[in-house]
Amino acid sequence: MQIDLEKEKQEIEAAFEGLVKSAVHAKKDAATKKRIRKAFDVAHEAHKDVRRKSGEPYIFHPIAVARICAEEIGLGATSIICALLHDTVEDTELTIEDVKSLFGEKEAKIIEGLTKISGVVDANISLQAENFKKILLTLADDVRVILIKLADRLHNMRTIGSMRRDKQLKIASETLFLYAPLAHRLGLHSIKSELEDLSLKCQEPEVFEEIQSKLKKTQEVRTRFINHFSAPLKKALEAKGFKFEMKGRPKSIYSIWKKMSNKSIPFEEVYDLFAVRIIIDSEAENEKSDCWQVYSIVTDFYQPNIERLRDWISAPKANGYESLHTTVMSPTGKWVEVQIRTKRMDEIAEKGFAAHWKYKEGSEESQFDKWINQIRELIENNDANALDLVDDFKLDLFSDEIYVFTPEGEMKNLPSGASALDFAFSIHTEIGEQCIGAKVNNKLVPLSTPLKSGDQLEILTSKNQRPKEDWLNFVKTHKAKSKIKSSLKEEKKEIALIGKAMLDKEFKRLGIKRENISLNELKKHFKETSDIDFYYGIAKNTIQLNHLRDFEVKNGTLKLKRTFPNRLKTYFERKKPVKSERKDEILVIGDNMEKIDYSLANCCNPIPGDEVFGFITVAEGIKIHKTTCPNSVQLMSNYAYRVIKARWIEKEKVDFLTGLKIIGIDNVGIVNNITQIVSNELHVNMRSIKFESYDGIFEGTIMVFVQNTIHLNNLISNLKKVEGVKKVERIDS
Which residues participate in catalysis according to the annotation? Answer: 90-91
626: nearest Cα among 636, 617, 641: 636
Q: Contact 308/321 with Cβ under 8 angstroms?
A: no
Q: DSSP code of 388?
A: H
Q: How far apart are the first and last CA of the chain?
A: 51
Q: DSSP code of 413?
A: E
Q: DSSP 3-state assignment of 147?
A: helix
The phi and psi torsions of 695 (rounded to 5 degrees) equal 50, 40
Q: Which residues pair with 278 in a beta bridge?
A: 246, 340
List strands edge to edge, sheet with 643-648: 586-589, 643-648, 612-616, 622-626, 598-600
Total residue length of the chain: 733
Burial of 43 per CB tally in 10 Å (0-12, 13-18, 19+): buried
Neighbours of 445 (CB within 10 A): 17
625: nearest Cα among 651, 589, 655, 592: 589
Q: Contact 57/51 with Cβ under 8 angstroms?
A: yes
120: nearest Cα among 142, 135, 109, 108: 135
Q: Contact 356/320 with Cβ under 8 angstroms?
A: yes
547: nearest Cα among 556, 534, 557, 531: 534
Buried b (16+ CB within 10 A) or exposed e, 536-556: bbbbeeebebeebeebeeeee
Dihedral over alpha carbons 222, 226, 229, 233 (to 10 degrees) = 170
> Could you give the CA distance from residue 651 to residue 154 in angstroms, rounded to a whole number?
42
- Alpha-carbon separation of residue 151 from 103, 369, 598 (angstroms): 21, 22, 39
Burial of 506 per CB tally in 10 Å (0-12, 13-18, 19+): middle
Q: DSSP code of 368?
A: H
Buried b (16+ CB within 10 A) or exposed e, 322-335: bbbbbbbebeeeee
Q: Quote the crossing angle between the two packed helices 165-174 and 143-158, to the nearest 10°.
A: 150
395: nearest Cα among 476, 502, 289: 476
Q: List alpha helices for 160-270, DSSP H.
A: 165-174, 180-185, 189-203, 205-217, 219-239, 253-263
E-state strands within 401-465:
401-405, 411-415, 435-440, 443-445, 457-461
Q: Contact 65/152 with Cβ under 8 angstroms?
A: yes
Q: In whole angstroms, what separates CA 46 from the centre of its chain?
A: 34
Q: Mention every residue, 6+ apart, whose C-beta is less than 8 A from residue 672.
A: none
Q: Contact 349/189 with Cβ under 8 angstroms?
A: yes
